[in-house]
Amino acid sequence: MCLSVTETDSRKRRKRWMIVGLIVLLLVVLVTVVFSLSRDHQNDDPTVVERPKMEDRGFGEDGELDMTNAETIRAGVQQKADDSMVRFKINTNPVYSNGEVNWMIENPGQNKWLAQVDIMKDGEVIYKSPTLKPNQKVQSDKVDLSFLSPGTHEVLAVFYIYDEETKYLIGKQFVDKVNLTISNGGSGV
């Protein structure tokens, strides 16, 4: 089986064109992949900071804290105000009993911001309040803290302050001297 010179040249040319075609196809695929990856990372500008939006937690109950008895007052409701006159109240000595804690958290009526409160122990959130509009409160709330041993535990209260219209975070305030007491009868919910 002897092939003529022209047939051999013809086959060689076809092979060259196939190789050139494959190389061009690979280059097109490579350029497309590089272009799509660069487009995905165009918004990774480290100077652009996205403000976190408020988490939807429902709302607390209207009104101020019930301060009619001496024991409630002695529990240590603490009022704090920051530079922008944001005020809030929280029981700095809450007690966990029968699956409920008397948090006594209030977003007073003179505030114009929404508030959400997280209670943290050792870096873990153990309670999330509902969203509190101005003049709303959480007198007490059910929560399962049965994993905590009886006694007093130092916890951190983090108040997140949000703009009511945009729901963007305006700032945070911390109350780091909250002493949560777990009573012996503090069973879970």
* CATH (domain of 150): 2.60.40.2550
Q: Within this chain, do residues 34 and 69 fall inside the same structural domain, yes or no? A: no
92: in domain: yes
Please give the pLDDT value at position 79: 41
Q: Within this chain, do residues 21 and 92 fall inside the same structural domain, yes or no? A: no
188: in domain: no
188 has a pLDDT exceeding 70: no
Q: Within this chain, do residues 102 and 152 fall inside the same structural domain, yes or no? A: yes
Can you tell me the distance from the alpha carbon of 169 to that of 161, in angstroms, rounded to the nearest whole number?
6
Q: Within this chain, do residues 14 and 83 fall inside the same structural domain, yes or no? A: no
Q: Within this chain, do residues 102 and 17 fall inside the same structural domain, yes or no? A: no
53 has a pLDDT exceeding 60: yes
Q: Within this chain, do residues 36 and 97 fall inside the same structural domain, yes or no? A: no
189: in domain: no
11: in domain: yes
111: in domain: yes
What is the layout of strands, in order, in the sheet containing 114-121? 124-128, 114-121, 151-162, 169-182, 95-97, 100-101, 141-142
Tokens read off for 168: 């963007």
Can you tell me the distance from the alpha carbon of 4 to that of 72, in angstroms, rounded to the nearest whole number?
108
* Residue 41 binned pLDDT confidence (cut-offs 50, 70, 90): low
**Alpha helices (H) along 63-189:** 70-74
Q: Within this chain, do residues 80 and 120 fall inside the same structural domain, yes or no? A: yes
Q: Within this chain, do residues 5 and 94 fall inside the same structural domain, yes or no? A: no
Can you tell me the distance from the alpha carbon of 126 to that of 90, in angstroms, rounded to the nearest whole number?
16
Average pLDDT, the chain: 82
Which residue range(s) make up the domain with 39? 1-47
Number of domains in the chain: 2
Burial-class residue 78 by CB neighbours within 10 Å (0-12, 13-18, 19+): middle
162: in domain: yes
Mind listing the pLDDT tens digit for each residue in 129-166? 999 999 999 999 999 999 999 999 999 999 999 999 99
User: What residues have CB less than 8 Å from 50, skipping those under 6 apart?
Assistant: none
124: in domain: yes
Q: Within this chain, do residues 67 and 126 fall inside the same structural domain, yes or no? A: yes
* pTM for the model: 0.57
Q: Within this chain, do residues 38 and 81 fall inside the same structural domain, yes or no? A: no
